[in-house]
Amino acid sequence: MSRSSMADLERDPRFFLQELDVQSNESVQRALKNVMDKYGRIDVLVNNAGVQCIGPLAEIPLSAVQQTFNTNVYGSLRMVQGVVPHIATRKRGKIVNIGSVSVMAPGPWSGTYTATKAALHALTDTLRLELSHFGIDVVNVVPGAIKSNIGNFAVTSYNRMPEWNLFKPFEEAIRERASLPQRIKTTPTDEFAQKAISVILRKNPPAWFSSGQYSSIMAIMYHMPICVKDFLMSRIMKP
């Protein structure tokens, strides 16, 4: 999201907008320095930067996979490594990583995105243990289907993909998966945000918070036998 698209927030004195590219160490350090210079401290880090990536794992360009990991996983870790030195000295602070319910029941065509979120879930669990010594709370926020622009990006990125070879018969199914976030019923952004904020700002926030459309269904699927999950997911693979 560009800074120009948030002009209304720019005019609001409650916000201090900064351009930030989580794929760039220099951009991360510059943004953090600006925040520290202005406020002198950091209380909460929310790692919400994320991109979608659609395509069969056996054919998707590795460059697209690397780009997705660089944003969703390494970008979050860059932010963590940049922020922790500031909040560890104060013995208080919160780190919030935005995961995904897709990890609960991975399906076809979005394996790259799901893998990045699974990695982020694992990193979050480890960070919670490692940073507890410094009084830092680490929360894994696991949204269901929330209204956002990630679906627009998924369609755009899919259109830049090469022609499929082995998976040519599945092209329509893959394309439908790319546009799925735009077609399904989603939870309004402000509704989800209010619930998440109320949980994150608790004195002792939970390690895991999940909410939003389909979050309960995905949690149930997580506990299903693998053969049942495979059967349900394979139904959307038919060419």
Q: Give SS3 for 21.
A: coil
Q: Pick the range with the lowest mean pLDDT from 90-94, 98-102, 161-165, 179-183.
A: 179-183
Gyration radius of the chain's alpha carbons: 19
Mean per-residue pLDDT for 74-94?
97
User: Cα-flanking dihedrals φ and ψ of residue 53, to 5°?
Assistant: -150, 115
> What band does 25 get if pLDDT is binned at 50, 70 and 90?
very high
CATH of domain 41-234: 3.40.50.720
Angle at 225 between CA 175 and CA 222, to 5 degrees: 60
* pLDDT score of 1: 57
Mean per-residue pLDDT for 62-73?
96
Mean per-residue pLDDT for 63-77?
97
- In 3D space, the residue among 154, 174, 152, 176 whose CA is nearest the CA of residue 164 turns out to be 174
Give me the DSSP letters along 187-231.
B-HHHHHHHHHHHHTSSS--SEEEESBTHHHHHHHHTS-HHHHHH
* pLDDT score of 150: 81
Residues with a catalytic annotation lie at 113, 117
Higher pLDDT, 180 or 147: 147
- Judge whether 14 and 118 are in contact, CB under 8 Å: no
**Domain range summary for the chain, segments of one domain joined by +:** 41-234
Q: How far is CA 51 from CA 15, 56, 100, 125, in A?
A: 24, 17, 12, 22
> What band does 2 get if pLDDT is binned at 50, 70 and 90?
low
Tens-digit pLDDT profile for residues 179-224: 887 678 899 999 999 999 999 999 999 999 999 999 999 999 999 9
Mean per-residue pLDDT for 141-149?
91
* pLDDT score of 6: 76
Q: Pick the range with the lowest mean pLDDT from 7-21, 81-95, 98-112, 136-150.
A: 7-21
- Judge whether 31 and 129 are in contact, CB under 8 Å: no
* pLDDT score of 112: 97
* pLDDT score of 101: 96
Top mean pLDDT of 64-73, 158-167, 184-193 is at 64-73
